[in-house]
Structure 1
Amino acid sequence: MTADARIAATATALAARIAALSPAAPRRLVAIAGPPGAGKSTLAAAVTAALAARGEQAVLLPMDGFHLDNRLLEPRGLLPRKGAPETFDFEGFAAMLTRVRSEARVILPVFDRARDIAIAGAAEIAPETRIVVVEGNYLCLDEAPWRRLSALWDHSVFLDVPLAELERRLVQRWLDHGLAPDAARARALGNDIPNARRVVAARGPVDCVIGRDGTIR
């Protein structure tokens, strides 16, 4: 089975699980979490598409819109650690998720990777939306304050990928961004891999874990 076929099969299986959930509120919130390079964005998009194919009103909501801006990170000495848990607006993100639970329409920020900034008011959750697929590294992190999010999820998914494979993917990601091999490796090992180790070590309880081969357990 090709990688694309494996992702599609996993997404279809997850979509069936999610569609069968009995929501505790008018909307179901689904967390797809895992370390950097695990494939969260790809799977979350595939799950959202699979839900739509079932006739569900589903929207993808990445956590990255709540990155703190470089103008705040630099004076705090956090710019080299951008992407770590402490470089996000957790309280703003948590408040937004609470609003998504209870309000018909919610306007969202979106992260523009090309410009490395969050764009305010760039997306929305519409009144007809019934399932919100939330994607991000720290959605199931068992650290304060992130563990507070666990009460919001109707279903939580964690992607489990070996560290060596994450390193390979993350180095390739920076190569694809135009960095030289040494710089790409330094960028991945200096920030991305420490964040990955932290996510894996402090994983909180989840409803299911997806292995590298797409197996759901």
Structure 2
Amino acid sequence: MDQRTDRPLSPYRHFSRADWARLREDTPMTLTQEEVTRLRSQHDRLDMAEVEDIYLPLSRLLSMYVAATQRLYRAQQKFLGTGDAKMPYIIGVAGSVAVGKSTTARVLQALLARWPNVPRVDLVTTDGFLFPNAVLERENLMERKGFPESYDISALLRFLSDVKAGRRPVTAPIYSHLVYDVMPNHRVEVDRPDILIVEGLNVLQAGRPPRDGSAVPFVSDFFDFSVYIDADEPVLREWYVDRFLRLRGTAFSDPKSYFHRYAKLSDKEAIDTATSIWERINLVNLTDNILPTRQRAGLILKKGANHLVSDVALRRL
């Protein structure tokens, strides 16, 4: 464990990669190489070593946290004399565009679902709670897509409230990255899972609370644990541009793609276009809305330019 004395007082315990990896202890590797390959996003470089060093220790920690929460639930159940079913343990995954949130969320889902008691682990992305493009266009918010005001926060809060209340089943809208819009009449069902992972850019966002105090004000108020995936801005910019270049020959080449117009760009045109989008939209969102929420996370995974986690910060209890 990092015991350096030059670090200022912090609510976090800081670990080097090697120190964090040792906390895996005897947690078994339950994913195959083929499964890891399928779980990572196209531009990520997740490999077996990253799963073993970073995500298996995190899986072990979360298994302890979930077990402790269930013990607390049983204590309250005994105190109240009730027979209510246990509520899902909700994990939030936050971070910038292109940082690897989706891969992290999928890996955690796969690992947690392999625990001996085979819990049900569901995954929902907040993209589905974006307002439809028609609404964003009407409100002149298309260039603010991914910013807090582009989400139907009331619907997202209702969804999480229903999940925590044990309502079954609960459904969430589905977003298509191909057409860059919410899909009408397409929904994913969440039916009382043991664990629910909620992944999104602004899931740790804190806004102005309701004056009358009658509603749960923030998405993160429903989280039992949260993870922030971090990387320096120049690194994120490079990853975003690299992903844009890769997408020219894959998703953008589909005539149905919202970004099909970018498929024939030259390398220079694509780099200039991606850099402009990053600076005009994603960098502003990162600086104004996403990065300021980093210190609200229970765990911060800091990535280097090689896409690998170099440092881990775990919030003290």
Report SS of the residue matched to 1:53: coil
TM-score (normalised: structure 2): 0.63
* 1:17 and 2:61 matched: yes
For residues 140 and 50 of structure 2, the distance between their equivalents in structure 1, rounded to whole angstroms, comes to 38
* 1:5 and 2:5 matched: no
Of the candidates 229, 233, 243, which is equivalent to residue 163 of structure 1? 233
Amino acid across the alignment from 1:131: I
Of the candidates 273, 276, 281, which is equivalent to residue 183 of structure 1? 273
- Correspondence 1:92-171 to 2 at 5 A: 92-102=155-165, 103-119=167-183, 120-127=185-192, 129-144=193-208, 148-171=218-241
CA displacement at 1:69 relative to structure 2: 1.1
Flag structure 1 segments of 5+ consecutive residues without an equivalent: none
Deviation readout 1:92-128 (Å, 9 max, x if unpaired): 111101111121311121111001121244311124x
For residues 120 and 182 of structure 2, the distance between their equivalents in structure 1, rounded to whole angstroms, comes to 25
Flag structure 2 segments of 5+ consecutive residues without an equivalent: 1-16, 18-44, 74-85, 210-215, 249-261, 263-269
After superposition, the CA RMSD in angstroms is 2.1
CA displacement at 1:16 relative to structure 2: 1.9
Report SS of the residue matched to 1:211: strand
Report SS of the residue matched to 2:119: coil
Q: Which runs of 4+ in 1 moved over 6 A?
A: none
TM-score (normalised: structure 1): 0.90
Of the candidates 242, 248, 259, which is equivalent to residue 172 of structure 1? 242
Does the 8 A contact of 1:48 with 1:133 survive in 2?
yes
CA distance change for structure 1 residues 7 and 43 in 2, over 3 Å: closer, same or farther? farther
CA distance change for structure 1 residues 32 and 175 in 2, over 3 Å: closer, same or farther? same
* 1:70 and 2:155 matched: no
For residues 220 and 142 of structure 2, the distance between their equivalents in structure 1, rounded to whole angstroms, comes to 28
Report SS of the residue matched to 1:31: strand
Deviation readout 1:71-108 (Å, 9 max, x if unpaired): 11112111122121111111111110111112131112
For residues 91 and 193 of structure 1, the distance between their equivalents in structure 2, rounded to whole angstroms, comes to 26
User: Which has the larger Rg?
Assistant: 2
- Correspondence 1:31-46 to 2 at 5 A: 31-46=92-107
State the match for 2:153 in structure 1: 90
CA displacement at 1:6 relative to structure 2: 4.6
For residues 160 and 233 of structure 2, the distance between their equivalents in structure 1, rounded to whole angstroms, comes to 30
Report SS of the residue matched to 2:172: strand
Count of residues in correspondence between the two structures: 216
CA displacement at 1:147 relative to structure 2: 6.3
For residues 77 and 124 of structure 1, the distance between their equivalents in structure 2, rounded to whole angstroms, comes to 31
Amino acid across the alignment from 1:126: D
CA displacement at 1:206 relative to structure 2: 1.9
Percent identity reads 23
Q: 1 or 2 for the larger relative contact order (CA 8 Å, sep ≥6)?
A: 1
